[in-house]
Every structure is written in structure tokens, then in C-alpha cells.
Structure 1
Amino acid sequence: MTHPSGIRAAAVDRFPDQFARTRRFSLGVPRQFTVSPDGARVLFVRGTSGTDPVSRLWLYENGTERLLADPLGPGLADEPAGELPPEERARRERARETSSGVVSYATDASVRLAAFALRGALWVVATDGGAPRRVRTAGPVVDPRPSPDGSLIAYVSGGALRTVRADGTGDRTLAGPDGEHVTYGLSDYVSQESIGRSRGYWWSPDGDALLVARVDTAGVARRYIADPSDPGRPPREVAYPAAGTANAKVSLHLVRVSGGRVGVRLPGTAGEGHPEAAWTDRAFEYVVAARWDGRGPLVCVQTRDQRSVHVLEVDAESGATRTLHRAHDPAWVALRPGTPLRLSDGALVVPARPGGDTQGLAIGDTVTPPGLEVREVIGAADGRVYFTAGGEPTEIHVWSYDTTGRDEGPVRVSGAPGVHTAAVGGPTVVLDSRTPKGQTVTVLRSGAEVGRIAVLAEEPLVTPRPLALRPGRRELRSRLHLPSWHRPDSGPLPVLLSPYAGHGMQVVLEVRTWWTAVAQWFAEQGFAVLVTDGRGTPGRGEAWEKSVHGDRLTAVLEDQIDALHAVAGDRPELDTTRVAMRGWSFGGYLAAAAVLRHPDVFHAAVAGAAPADRRLYDTHWEERFLGHPDVLPENYARNSLLEEAAALARPLMLVHGLADDNVAVAHTLRFSAALLAAGRPHTVLPLSGAGHLVGRDGAASGLLRLELDFLRKSLGL
């Protein structure tokens, strides 16, 4: 076997350090774009280089970038450092935030004023010039948001929703906690982590009122996450609703700036049309989306069993609600980010089924064509609705639909094969494109390119060179990474499967991103690395995505094995006597299941942050697939790795961050205990201080090297 030498070998050796230093190549990447209604101004956050972990706030205008707020610059850096509020720490963990500094912001309606929190302090900056200015508040600030006219800033502090004038006067409470475990203006754990609703309050267009979420976690079970490396530090408390247990109680309230509050009368249960099953729960426990447009508040709620979703309009005076749209599904109603959206004429933009197996979109009375799989609604601007969709699952493009009827149907905005998204305002589209060549951000105005926003991310020291494949009768979308130095006569290559393969995420895409670089790095070490998206992943229709209902492992593992055998059948250089799998989160769960269930196929595995005991995962995510554990215990038993621990006959490394509050380390500890009780040797690697995303430089780089060493030894390399 011939290995790389010289400069190439040195670059490969340094890659883990680069991977860690760049935070998975996320540093230097512009994000969180906001486009002004006239399309003239674009705000975004980004560092100053591919290794700068401090995000700044920037303005793009008239073809140039201008720095608006630098946390390390004069003024901001002069203020004494404050403690990051625990609510903000939790929000960043939910968002998998890898940087510090200005990591989020909000603007007034015209994008003339931006507000952001820095180390618990409130800052505002005008986009037409001037230095950032600190606004004194009654306490540490979380999620500050200007009113539409910019005269007030709303924020959350100590669980209370407060407002302060932009000039720093008049700080007062609008809605304060009325219980020990009650907050106003924040999102609960499940809404942030599994539903995708990160916000907890919304301004009215006139700025005279807010729609506010009240969250009561008194009935939610507590978890306590300690740092064993610092035994003197108190544990962190997390209200975590595990499958089958009580959710937070979320209610909505209309709060007037002038004083007074009215509760929104949300429906209690779903009625006619709700599908029945072995486990049915009609209670509307989830507020999955909310907004306040020119026609009033709009709210979307979902039942506990996730088989009904209602879109409600809210009377802003009385809090009464009227149902505008209903959706039902015998498995679960899929939530489409960005929906529901209401246009200025009152037409709704909601998920739809245009025919066949496609997950499409209804824009008023118009339904997107069959075969166009819609992923997300971006927004509406200049008479058009923008959304992302694709016919080929490895590509996601930006599309627009002209609501005035000038176009016959959806028009594709993005061009090159890849994964594209956008931000819109007036005639301006900020097109964020990831392709096999890298990432670009292009500013379009009335369809023509007028400039670009710089992407400062480092180039990976190893260049991904995957082969696009569609193995097997299901034409599974796969990518095969071979060593750059490999030749047909170089000899057989051990095989490493490196999937995610879980619901809600694809890794087989027409992009160059961190996971393709990592796959190529393992390939350069002498592996044939195969990555496959199978059943349960997005982009291939309703039946494909929901084929894991009731069983999260059988079909998914079958697809990984089918892909392996089909590719190896065409490529004799793949040595199927030496096959391993590595993965993280669901991918780690899948890797452990692979060596437990199919030791004839898989000879070693690395399982990172594996949710081994599905009863420990949260209500909304887990009950979607497996139902209520008290009613359908057989589903949880069939999908538990603990039940199969005695079957382990192959080398297995378990890796877990001790501070992970998404997949608690208890998953790995319980699994390890079951393996130990069954007399099955295995390796456990605890990562001190690490959450669900391993971000510390030493841990991130060291973990790659330790995985490689374990796999080599386990496969006899």
C-alpha cells in the first residue's frame, strides 16, 4: 500500500489541528443575513478571518462592507466583562454556536437600528453611522429586539419580558414571572431543540403590543449536569421533558406596551379529522410557530401525538382564535420551516401535497408542482415568495413564485449544483451558496449580480474528492472517498462508513463542507470512506422520510449494508473483510447498532454521543417516531441499544461529552454498564466540559486522531 509523502503528508497530518482551530471551518463564514425592506442594506455577522472566533456585526451597502460593531474594538471592549446569562448559554447550546462576540442581533423594521447583547449587556448601533452605544438595563439581557420604529428595545431578564427606550430611559417590566419556574419571552427546551422555534416573543407592526410566550416548567422533570473535572462547581439544572413525561406548559399572551394583558385562547384539543392510532393524544401541547403581520397575530399549534397541526389567526383585542388551516397525517405532520406565512392579501403559505409522494407548498390557491420537494420558506418580498426546494435530493435550490401571476410557476433563482439558501428584502436577494468548490455569498438585485459578501473561511488542507454513486435498487444517494494516492494496483482498502442517516439531516449533498473534508482525511489514512443517506432522511418524499415510523434502526441499517455491498460489488478495491462505522449523535447510535446487530458485516465502530436509550430523549423528537413509551413500550425496547448489549462481539469505542444536555451522558453510561454486566469489553472516552458539539481545539483535534488509532488497531492495520 502506497501512502502520501512530502508536502501532502504534512498537510494531512496537520488537518485535525486546522479542523479544530477553524471550528469545523465555520469561522470567517458570513451568516444571519437581514435585508432592509428597500433592499439597500444587508446586515450579517462574521469574524475577521477563518481562525477568528469572535463574531462582529457588519453592514453591506453600495457594494462595500462596513464594520458596525467590534466586541474587541474601542467602546465595547472598554466595558467590564459581565457573566453570560444562563438563558443565553442555553440558547447558544441549542444553536450549536461555535463563536463568541456578536452571535445574534435584531433590527427595527427599516433595518436602521440593530440591537445585540454582549456578555449580558445591551448595545444598539445605527446602520447609517455612529459608534455602538450601550443601553443600561435593569439586569442581564437575553434576546433583545427593537420595536418596528426603533424607539423601544424589548428584552428578557430574569425570566421577565422588559422594555427600555432606545435612549436608555424608561426601563420597566411588561410581563414578569408569576411562579418559580415561569418565564416570559423565552422558548422552552423542546421548542428550541426539536421543533425549531427559538423565539419567545413577537412585536406588533405598530410597536404598541407584543405576542409573548409564557413557559411554565414546574411539572417538567429536572436534569442536573455537573462537571466532574471541577467538583466544587454546582451542577447546572435543565428542565428536560423525556419521552412520555410532562412537557412545559406554553401559553400565549397579548401584552400592551401601555399596560394590560390578554390571554390567547388556544384550542385545547384537535377535533374532527384527527387520525387515531394505538396511541392518540389530541391535546395541543406544542406552539410550533408564531408571528405578527399586518393582519394580526398568526399562530401554529400541534398535538402531543403530532398528527394534527392547526394554523390560527388571533384577534389582537380579545385573544380569540379562528382556525385558518388544518393538516393531519397518520404518522406525523411534518413541520416546514418558515411556515405558516401570510401574504399581504391574506393568502396563506403552508405545506401541501401536490400529488405523488412530494412534500410541496401551497401559496394561496397555487400548489407547487409534483417532484419539487420543498425544504423551507425563506419569506416574501417585492411580490414574490421565496423558498428552497429541489427535485434531486442532493441539491437544494432557491426558488421564487410571483404572487401577481406574471410567472406561470416557480422560477429557480440559484444556478450551480449545490445547496443554496437566501435572505430577501425588496428587490434584493442575498444568495448563500455551498457547492463542491466551496461557499460564496452573492448579492442579487432584480435578478442581476451587484456584489459579493466575503467568505473568509480557511481552505481545508485536504481537498474532498468524492465519487457520486447511486447504489442498489433504491438508488441510495452515496459518496465514496478514496485516497488521493490510491491506484488500481495499490491493494485492497479497508472500508469506513461515516453516515449520519437520521431524520432531518442529509450529508450526501453537492457541497464541500466540514464533513466531506473529514471523510477525505480518513480516506488519506488508507480507508475507502462510504457515506450514504438512506430511508428516513429528507428530500425524497413522504414515504421515504416516514419509513422509520415505529422503528428507527431496521430500514436505516439495511440501507447502509445494501450500499456497502453494491459499491463493493462494483469496486473490488473495497475490502469487505475489514469494515468499520463511525458517527455522532444518531450516526453514533447507528454505528453502535451496526456492530451489535451485524457483526458479520461490521468489524469495529466508533459511536459518539449515541442516544442509546430512546426513553431518555425528549418528547417531541422521540414520540414522533416511537409514540408514548407507556403505550408502545415495544417500540422503545426494539430501538434500545441497552437491550442488545450482550450481542457485542466487535471492538466498540463510546465517546461522549460530559456537559451534553441534548444527548445526556447517561445514554453512554447506561449502555456501558449494560455491556460491562454482559462481560463485553469496550472502550469509553469521556470528554470533560464538552457539549453535544465538541468545540474545544484540543478535544476536537485529539478526538479525530484517537478515532483513527482505534480503527486502525481494531481492523488490524
Structure 2
Amino acid sequence: MAEETDEAELSASQVGERIAGFPQTKARTLRFTLGAPRSIRMAGDGRRAFFLRSDGPEDFETSLWMSVFDQGDGHREVLLADPRDLLADAAQEQVPAEERARRERSREGGRGIVAYSVDAAGHRLVFTLGSRLWLTQLDSDGLGASTRSLTLPAELGEGHAILNPEISADGTRVAYTTGRQLAVVTIGADPAADAARVVLALEDGAGEEQKLGLAEFVAGEEMDRYQGFWWSPASDALLVESYDASPEPVWYISDPAEPSHPGQSRRYAQALTANAKVRLLLVRLGSDGSASSLVRVDWDHKAYEYLAVVRWQAKHEPLLLLQNRRQTRDQIAAVELGGGQQEPGADCGTKTFGFDDLPDLPSLPTRSLREHENDRWLDLVPGLPAWTPDGRLAEAVIDEGADTIRLALDGQAFSPVGCQLREVLDLGESDALAVVSSDPRSFDLVRFGYDGSLKVLNSRPGVWTASRAGRGIVVSGRTMQEPGVKAWHSLLAPGASLDALACCGEARPQSGVEASARLTSQAADPGFTPNVDFVRLGADQLFGAVVRPSESSPWAGEGKLPVLLKPYGGPGFQQVVFSQSYYWESQWWADQGFIVLTADGHGTTGRGPAWDRAIFEDMAQVTLDDQVAAVQALPDLVPQADLSRVAMIGWSYGGFLSALSVLRAPDVVHAACAGAPPTDWTLYDTHYTERYLGLDREVYRRNSIIDDAPKLRRPLMLIHGFADDNVSVANTLRLSQALMAAGRPHTVLPLTGITHMTNDPTVARNLLVLQRDFLYQALGIQPRD
């Protein structure tokens, strides 16, 4: 018995050491994501799945991999391309400014091969690395591959930007953009046989604000649309976005720590100001890959300012999802490829145009298929709109009577009431594969049969997703039972449905599953399981997560502990979900001597459109009231909570909420650390801010906190990166200036060279420690060893 006790004590000691070392480990492992499989895509008959993974838990250099079943259903993982083999010094790769911006929009923190494109059959893949375009070609047996660089257009010169390369469906051509030219490479048997040319270009006199083949800022930041061109299913044409950002205000980003470095100017889609002008072109290609015709796609740009979705599927007309400025109306439109005026086809090499010339181009009309209205806003649901293989239009609809966002086919909702649609992953011949929530804490993987059948594919709640093609599917996700991402590649038997899967891809030998294998993960394990209780709080039954000190913490067993609120709390996102990773940092904070509470209030996703829209034009007060209600309800569930010592920390909207709490609720929240807070909503972007606050400046004043500065009587730390191009550092500086003018003491922690992601390991580690020490002093907490 004594020996067992010693082992238990040793185990607790080891856990304590790992929790204490969490800030360093989190920083070195990029939040425990390095070494885990990601960006998983199925292709072809389903025997092959492709993914990215680095070589270890602290390796930032990401390689391209393949999971494959041979004809005997044996499984292997094949390294297809390693950046260190392809480049002599991959770590020093020069990444173009436009690619850095895309990575910032998509929150990409890795290096090396961070994105790829694969053809429909899964035989060829392309990616960019080191100012070169690379092709990975599978061997004839499909079990190995070779990689070579592709020939680039000579007229573009050496070292030009190669942005967002996409391979055509048939694998014969690759398109990419430089930002001002669109190039197409027809793949040959070897580099000498490659045929590369510029097919579309902005004219020489076009301003720097004009871009070709790139998504505008708000598309990437707020619509999750990172593409700016799309291949036709037949690989003989491209739809291409061109935008002119000159109507947007000019902003500057500088590094005050380097006064000799000039500030960089950029256009920013600032709320209540003009947006970029976005246009869509169709360029058809001749047999030699050169441009044969150029036309513009026509729609009512005044009525519908935003191009939210472009989708071009086999055997169907391209689909557009267009939104008005306020996002209260949208239109699903089909591009009529055979209609309108069109240029005669003739191979001509390169088509050149200027933005002012676009009205003079021949045009293709669009046909309205469906229109929606909502007096507050309409949601974008990833994967929609889209065609089913048999030609039915799939879309998301708001069923206000049932308070449910539902999947509809040809205007008829068929997903169940109370099942909130989050994403459509695939539309098959007989079913739709989607992510939904009936409990907002679980992102469930569901098969909706067109015959009305329904199957939940995950046996445990968690945060799930999938990719499928042919008879293959890879299911991946996180749960409360395991620390990291689990991903399973399964091959179904001929004629079997997804219902054959068990345990979200952990297919055991059973009818309907031909083979299954778990993808290897080399990600770090934090070494502890968070001590989480899920609770419901207050009259609105807010979903909450409470984390207490571990047994190894010097604060374990304390009769009363201060409360740390750790929310995001803003619209369109959740933090109370069934995934361990969401609570690792909370456990570290708990072991510093806090009861940590995260509560999802109104505006957060998964509870239905009425819940989402309760924050309309009043998100500051509504989201703050929810956090106050959560605190006040906490002692009934956690008697250990000391409401005389309450602090809040957060980043982005969570940072705004933290600063807001000590300004407007100082009797409830007694100290706060606010990271990258949008303190003045007129300084944030159009698509996000106007969705929730509209176009009335008085509403912005009421929801911003600059005017609240004289009310500060609690300790407040403001934290901001000077290189943040999403939430400008001007937000923190303006609040600090107002606090100074009001004579209110506060702390400002400037982060030079840091963007909104704070990926620098040293900064990420020290941020936690500095915030802890600030709150210790603010709340009168004596540190314990």
C-alpha cells in the first residue's frame, strides 16, 4: 500500500511539473499542433488520403504525406515531399508579403509546405516552396512518388511571387497568381516539356491597389474564402477575381522599435467606409493553355457588394453567393456560361486589362436561383451553396419558427429541427456529410440521407470533421478523452454506406469496412488532463466550463480561491466545447491559484439563430451581462469561488470584453488583462462589424469603450502587437490615451513585431507569466511554490 501511495505521489509530482512547464511547452509546440496530421484531403477512389505533418512536436517545417491502402488493404504512410530535401535551407525561405498575409488570415503558424492542391484522381499534387512551384507525381503503383519543380513563365523573371497554386481537376494544368498576373503551366513529361505562360494580367498602368487572382482582405478574414480563382471542371477555363482596394482608407503599420524602418501602407476595409470593388472574370483557355477569350461575370454590384462564395462543380453551372453590404439579403446566382456577349475564341497568349476597362468587356449574365432576407443578418455556412450530383440546390436556411439553421434541398428544409447546421463537408449521390450540433458543445459528424435517414458517426462528443472521396473517408477530431487530434483513414466495402463506421473512424473488423488505420501523430502531449466540470449558469442557462487546481497544485484544497474569467464571449465563436485542448491553458491558470470559468453567452454559435442574434446592435452590453450573470451564479455550483476577487483575461473580442468588464462592471470584475482589444469598433473591418452593429455611428459609440475611460478604477493591463493587421494597435493606443487624459492609471504591454497570432515562442510563454504576476498584485495574491 505504501509503495502504491509513493507511486501516486510521484505521478502527482510529475503532473505538477508538466503543468508548471506548460507556458514553455505550449510556445515550443505551437499550441501542441506541431507533429499532428492536418489539412487532410481524400482523392480518387478513397485508397489515398493526403495530409501535412512536421517531423516532431517542436518541428515547424511541415512536409507533405500520403496515407494509402494497397490492393491487399495493407496500410502505409508515405513521405511525399520534405522541404529540407527540396531546399538547402528551408527555415530561411523568403515568403512573399501576399503569402504572409494569407497565412495571417488563415492563422497558419507553420513553415515549409503549408498548403497544397491535389487533382481529382489523387495522382498529382502541387505546392509552392522557396519561390518555386513543385509537382509531386505518384508512381504507377500509387504507393510512392517523385517531386520536381515546374517550369515558370519566362516573362515573369526569377523570384516572382507564386501564390495559391491550384491544379486542374484532370491534373494536366496548374494555375497560380502573382497578385497582378495569372499564370498557367501545362505539365509535361519533364521540365523541358512544361509549357508555362501568363494568361491574364493587369495592365502596366494599374495601381498597386488593384489585384488579380487574390481574395480581398475581408474575404479571407471574415468569410473564410482564401481563393481568388477557380478552375472549371473540364480544366479549360478559370473564374478569376480582380479587386480594386483604392476606395478603402490607407492605413500604416510600422515598428516603433526600428525607427529607421519606414511604415508600410495598406488598404483596410474599415467599418463605415468604402469596401474594395470586387469583380469576377472568366478566361477560357485554348488547346495550348493560352487565353482564348475574356469576359466579365455580371451581377448587380450595388445591391450585392460582397462575393462570398464561388463554386464550380462538374456538370453544373458555377454558383455564386452574393451579399448586400449589411448582410441582411443574399442571392444564390448561377453563372450562365452560354449566355450574353462573349469574345470570339482564338488563342492569343495573354489577356491584359485595367479595372476601368472592365465595363467594356463582353459579359456573362447571372441567374438568380434563390434569395434570402433577415432583418438582422444572414449566416455563411461553409460548404454551401452547392449542387448535389443530381442537380438539386443545397443551401442553408434560417427556420425562425423552429429556431434552427437547417440544410435545405431545392428550398425544402430536410435536416431536423434543433440540429444546428455548422458545415457541409460533402454532397454525395445518396447523402450529405455535415457537421451539426444539437448540444452546442459537440460538433457532431452526421450523414443526412436524402431519403430522410440520419446517422451520427461519432460515438463520443467532440469537435469532428471529415474528408471523403470514392469509398474512402478520413475522420478527425478532438474529444475530452484524448489529448490530441485523432484521425482515421477508412476504406468502405463496395456498396457500404458511412453507417458502417464505428467510433468516428476507429473501424474495427466488421461488415462494411474493408480496411482502417489511424494516422500517426507526433504532437506533444501536455502531460496532464484538465480538471474540468461542465455547468449551466444563470437564468439563461449559459454553457460554462469550470477548471479547478489539480491535486499537485499548492492551491489544492484551498477553502476559497479567486475567480478568473477566461472568455472569448463574442459572436460567431465558442470556447465551451468537448475538447481537452480548450482547457489546457485554463488548467495552468487554475494551478496558479484560481477557479477558472469560461462561459459562452449570447452571440456564440450552436444554440440557434435567436440566441446568435440577441447581440444585434448591443453586443457590448449583452455579452458583458452574460459574464456578470455567470459570475454571480458560480457560488451555487462552486462554493470555493471567492467573488470578492474576480479577474478577466482574453484576446481579441475576449480582450475587448476584459477591458469592458473593469470599465462597466467594476463591482463584479476587479482586474483585467486585455489582449489585442478592439476598443473602438469603427477601427475594425466592414464585414464583421457591420453584421452585428449595422451602419449607425451612434450604435458604434455605444458599443465602443473609449468614452468609458474615465470610469476606470480597477487595475487594467493592455497588451497589443504593433504588427497586428487585423485589430490595429490604434485600438489600444486610443484607449490608453483616453485613460491618460482622464488621469486613470493603467499598464500597457507593447509587443514589437507581433501580429494578431503571437506565434513567437518567447513572447507566447512570457505573456502568460506576466499576466499572472499582474493579477497576483492586483488581487493581493501571494505566490506559492
Moved more, 456-465 or 470-479: 456-465
1:246-645 matches, cutoff 5 A? 246-258=274-286, 259-269=292-302, 283-293=303-313, 294-318=315-339, 319-354=364-399, 355-364=401-410, 365-381=412-428, 383-403=430-450, 405=451, 408-436=452-480, 437-438=482-483, 439-446=485-492, 447-448=500-501, 449=507, 450-485=516-551, 490-513=558-581, 515-628=582-695, 632-645=696-709
Please give the secondary structure, in 2, of the residue aligned with 1:126.
Answer: strand
Give the aligned residue type for 1:400: R
Coordinate RMSD, CA, aligned: 1.7
Moved more, 661-670 or 349-358: 349-358
Moved more, 470-479 or 355-364: 355-364
Does residue 1:140 correspond to 2:161, yes or no?
A: yes
Residue 278 (structure 1) aligns with:
none
Give the aligned residue type for 2:61: V
Residues 568 and 575, structure 2, Cα contact 8 Å, conserved in 1: yes
Q: Post-superposition, which runs of at least 4 consecutive aligned residues in structure 1 deviate over 4 A?
A: 78-82, 486-489
1:70-109 matches, cutoff 5 A? 70-73=82-85, 75-77=86-88, 83-109=94-120
Please give the secondary structure, in 1, of the residue aligned with 2:687.
Answer: helix
Residue 24 (structure 1) aligns with:
31
Give the aligned residue type for 2:270: A
Residues 381 and 424, structure 1, Cα contact 8 Å, conserved in 2: no
CA distance in 2, matches of 1:80, 1:634: 49
CA distance in 1, matches of 2:92, 2:760: 21
Q: TM-score, normalised by structure 2?
A: 0.86
Residues 87 and 130, structure 2, Cα contact 8 Å, conserved in 1: no
Shift of 1:410: 2.5
CA distance in 2, matches of 1:348, 1:144: 29
Please give the secondary structure, in 1, of the residue aligned with 2:247.
Answer: coil
CA distance in 1, matches of 2:335, 2:22: 53
Residue 4 (structure 2) aligns with:
none
Give the aligned residue type for 1:502: G
Residues 84 and 90, structure 2, Cα contact 8 Å, conserved in 1: no
Residue 275 (structure 1) aligns with:
none
Residue 8 (structure 2) aligns with:
none
Does residue 1:161 correspond to 2:182, yes or no?
A: yes
CA distance in 2, matches of 1:435, 1:131: 36
Shift of 1:112: 0.8
Shift of 1:49: 1.4
Residue 173 (structure 1) aligns with:
198
1:368 and 1:554, CA in 2 relative to 1: closer, same or farther beyond 3 A?
same
Shift of 1:183: 1.5
Q: Give structure 2 stretches of 5+ with no counterpart.
A: 1-10, 70-74, 287-291, 340-363, 493-499, 502-506, 508-515
Residues 67 and 489, structure 2, Cα contact 8 Å, conserved in 1: no
1:690-701 matches, cutoff 5 A? 690-701=754-765
Residues 389 and 429, structure 2, Cα contact 8 Å, conserved in 1: no
Residues 576 and 599, structure 2, Cα contact 8 Å, conserved in 1: yes
CA distance in 1, matches of 2:457, 2:409: 18
Residues 18 and 526, structure 2, Cα contact 8 Å, conserved in 1: no
Residues 382 and 426, structure 1, Cα contact 8 Å, conserved in 2: no
After superposition, give the CA deviation of every residue in 1:644-702 in whole Å (9 maximum; x if it has no partner).
00000000000001110000101001110000000000000011111001111100001
1:701 and 1:263, CA in 2 relative to 1: closer, same or farther beyond 3 A?
same
CA distance in 1, matches of 2:30, 2:747: 26
1:377 and 1:429, CA in 2 relative to 1: closer, same or farther beyond 3 A?
same
Shift of 1:82: 5.4
Residue 59 (structure 1) aligns with:
66
CA distance in 1, matches of 2:13, 2:463: 35
Shift of 1:555: 1.4
Give the aligned residue type for 1:395: S
CA distance in 1, matches of 2:212, 2:123: 27
Residue 232 (structure 1) aligns with:
260
Please give the secondary structure, in 1, of the residue aligned with 2:100.
Answer: helix
Residues 418 and 434, structure 1, Cα contact 8 Å, conserved in 2: yes
Please give the secondary structure, in 2, of the residue aligned with 1:72.
Answer: helix
CA distance in 2, matches of 1:324, 1:661: 37
CA distance in 1, matches of 2:89, 2:727: 38
CA distance in 1, matches of 2:435, 2:739: 44
1:657-676 matches, cutoff 5 A? 657-676=721-740
Please give the secondary structure, in 2, of the residue aligned with 1:611.
Answer: coil
Shift of 1:427: 2.2
Q: TM-score, normalised by structure 1?
A: 0.94
Please give the secondary structure, in 1, of the residue aligned with 2:661.
Answer: helix
Shift of 1:158: 4.2
Please give the secondary structure, in 2, of the residue aligned with 1:227.
Answer: coil
Residues 61 and 112, structure 2, Cα contact 8 Å, conserved in 1: yes
Residues 165 and 175, structure 2, Cα contact 8 Å, conserved in 1: yes
Shift of 1:472: 1.4
1:1-40 matches, cutoff 5 A? 6-40=13-47
Please give the secondary structure, in 2, of the residue aligned with 1:470.
Answer: strand
Moved more, 470-479 or 701-710: 470-479
Moved more, 418-427 or 175-184: 175-184
Residue 117 (structure 1) aligns with:
128
Residue 7 (structure 2) aligns with:
none
Residues 120 and 142, structure 1, Cα contact 8 Å, conserved in 2: no
CA distance in 1, matches of 2:630, 2:603: 15
Pairs aligned (count):
693
1:567 and 1:234, CA in 2 relative to 1: closer, same or farther beyond 3 A?
same
Please give the secondary structure, in 2, of the residue aligned with 1:356.
Answer: coil
CA distance in 2, matches of 1:85, 1:246: 27
CA distance in 2, matches of 1:619, 1:360: 27
Give the aligned residue type for 2:63: R
CA distance in 2, matches of 1:639, 1:80: 43
Residues 278 and 306, structure 2, Cα contact 8 Å, conserved in 1: yes
Shift of 1:97: 0.8
Shift of 1:455: 2.3
After superposition, give the CA deviation of every residue in 1:143-170 in whole Å (9 maximum; x if it has no partner).
0111122221100114211111223533
Residue 277 (structure 1) aligns with:
none
Shift of 1:611: 0.2
Residue 280 (structure 1) aligns with:
none
Shift of 1:296: 2.1
Question: Identity of counterpart residues, as a percentage?
Answer: 39
Residues 15 and 461, structure 1, Cα contact 8 Å, conserved in 2: no
Q: Give structure 1 stretches of 5+ with no counterpart.
A: 270-282
Residue 357 (structure 2) aligns with:
none
After superposition, give the CA deviation of every residue in 1:271-329 in whole Å (9 maximum; x if it has no partner).
xxxxxxxxxxxx21100000111212111100011111101111124421111111110
Please give the secondary structure, in 1, of the residue aligned with 2:619.
Answer: coil
Select the structure of larger CA radius of gyration.
2
Residue 680 (structure 1) aligns with:
744
Shift of 1:120: 2.5
Please give the secondary structure, in 1, of the residue aligned with 2:195.
Answer: coil
Give the aligned residue type for 1:136: T
Shift of 1:239: 1.5
CA distance in 2, matches of 1:398, 1:6: 38
Residue 343 (structure 2) aligns with:
none
Shift of 1:8: 3.9
Moved more, 352-361 or 579-588: 352-361
Shift of 1:9: 3.8
